[in-house]
Amino acid sequence: MKDRTGAVLRPAQERYIERLLPPRDALAAEMEAVAAEEGIPISDPEVARLLQAVAAAKQARRAVEVGCAIGYGALHIARGAPQAEVVTLDQDAAVLERARGYLERAGVADRVRFLHGPALQVLATLEGPFDVAYVDAAKTEYRRYLDLLLPQMSVGGVLLFDNLLWKGWVAEPPEEEDGEQEDEQTVALRAFNPYLMIHPQLRSVLLPLGDGVGLATKVQPTILEMGGPF
């Protein structure tokens, strides 16, 4: 979630996009209010709506989410694809249980698998194929998440990465005090974005929604999937 107005788009544009969003139902609105009050990093509402639209367009059968938080992203994926199994993971067991409560109230928890552990370790144990993947976790690990997810995605599968413009700092670094180091998450995302855009197995675009969303479609299998290296 972006942490201030005008970090990515001009303030008037952001307000216009937000005004276009339909009212959220009571549960989604409650989750947004809780996240704002407690500083929990969830998707911006317009990003959640994109997740729901992508899941619906793909008619996803299986989806994976890296970074569950309180289940806001998983909720919108599950609502977009009512036939899908959604695998969501987080390293905080208490967070997962809280998400489970919200998703039970939404009536979708029976289609959600909650996996506890460090994302890189859990991703290495999953078996695809997945039709949709959504990543909103440690920014310094995004490249490794992509490398682990890509062989598990179906050809034609869609991956979404949140926060790729990172408070506006990726494109326009904040002024630093003498000797101050740039935020490591900003540095990592600045390196990740071109990797995502030029990856030979993907067709990608960076969208100025929320805090910046990378959307990529897998267009061909990886060498490992084809039995390589050759």
Instruction: Say if 174 falls within a structural domain.
Output: no
Residue 225 placed within a domain: no
| Residue 98 within any structural domain of the chain | yes
Contacts of 63 (CB under 8 A, 6+ apart): 55, 77, 81, 84, 85, 86, 87, 130, 131, 132, 133, 134
Measure the CA–CA gap between 197 and 215, rounded to whole angstroms. 9
Task: Tell me if 191 is assigned to some domain.
Answer: yes
Asked if the structure places residue 228 within a domain, the reply is: no
Domain of 41, CATH number, reads: 3.40.50.150
Say if residue 83 is exposed, middle or buried (CB neighbours under 10 Å; 0-12, 13-18, 19+).
exposed
Q: Give, for all 230 residues of the chain, the pLDDT tens digit.
A: 666 666 777 888 888 988 999 999 999 999 999 999 999 999 999 999 999 999 999 999 999 999 999 999 999 999 999 999 999 999 999 999 999 999 999 999 999 999 999 999 999 999 999 999 999 999 999 999 999 999 999 999 999 999 999 999 999 887 765 556 789 999 999 999 999 999 999 999 999 999 999 999 999 987 777 776 65
pTM given for the model: 0.92
Strands (E) located in 137-230: 153-162, 202-207, 213-218
Angstrom distance (rounded) from CA 180 to CA 162:
26
Q: Tell whether 72 is covered by a domain.
A: yes
Q: Please give the Cα distance from 198 to 205 (Å, whole number).
A: 10
Domain total of the chain: 1
Name the amino acid, one letter, at 6. G
Give the structural domain span for 96.
11-166+181-218
User: Does residue 229 fall inside a structural domain?
Assistant: no
Task: Answer yes or no: is 74 within a domain.
Answer: yes
